[in-house]
Amino acid sequence: MKIGELATASGCDIETVRYYEKAGLLDAPARAVNGYRTYTATHLAELRFIRQCRSLQMGLADIRTLIALRTERQANCGSVNNLVDHHIDRIDQQLRSLAMLRVELVQLREQCDGPHRMEDCAILRELSNTGPGL
């Protein structure tokens, strides 16, 4: 199949396919006599695997690791578990950071008790105050 067909079948655009090829995540396809790339069902499966990992917010380095681990048929999946556990830890940290950000935004929003003229906006005034280290 051609790159457009692969992109359509996988639900992504052509530039994404090219990007994953350049990044070394997707195997380079064979070239037809006319120079067009010729993709196979294996490429489609690889691209779907990559897209599934990306939908879980996995970075390219982690995806590259998972792709390499998939080829080690005799190894156990402890490395995969460790990678996913590490990803879960990162997400937990992001959730904690987002919770703290939410608290700060709620406190900021509480600075304003109603609509005022812009020059009297307590939120803008608070945002203009530079704290320590800024």
Instruction: Tell me, yes or no, whether 84 and 35 share the same domain.
Output: no
Among candidates 80, 98, 100, 79, which has minimal Cα distance to 90?
98
Query: Residue 73 has what pLDDT?
Result: 80
Instruction: Tell me, yes or no, whether 100 and 61 share the same domain.
Output: no
Residue 15 lies in a domain: yes
Query: Residue 111 has what pLDDT?
Result: 86
Among candidates 47, 51, 10, 9, which has minimal Cα distance to 29?
47
Residue 42 lies in a domain: yes
Residue 134 lies in a domain: no
Instruction: Tell me, yes or no, whether 3 and 61 share the same domain.
Output: yes
Structural tokens at position 23: 């990044």
Counting runs of H as helices and runs of E as strands, what totals does the chain give? 6, 2
Enclosing domain of residue 22: 1-75
Among candidates 30, 61, 68, which has minimal Cα distance to 46?
68
In three-state secondary structure terms, 31 is strand
Structural tokens at position 123: 């939120």
Query: Residue 2 has what pLDDT?
Result: 93
**134 residues of the chain, pLDDT tens digit each:** 999 999 999 999 999 999 999 999 999 999 989 888 899 999 999 999 999 999 999 999 999 999 999 888 888 889 999 999 999 999 999 999 999 999 999 999 998 887 888 888 888 888 888 655 55
Residue 46 lies in a domain: yes
Contact 30, 23 (CB under 8 A): no
Residue 43 lies in a domain: yes
Domain boundary among 32, 56, 75: 75
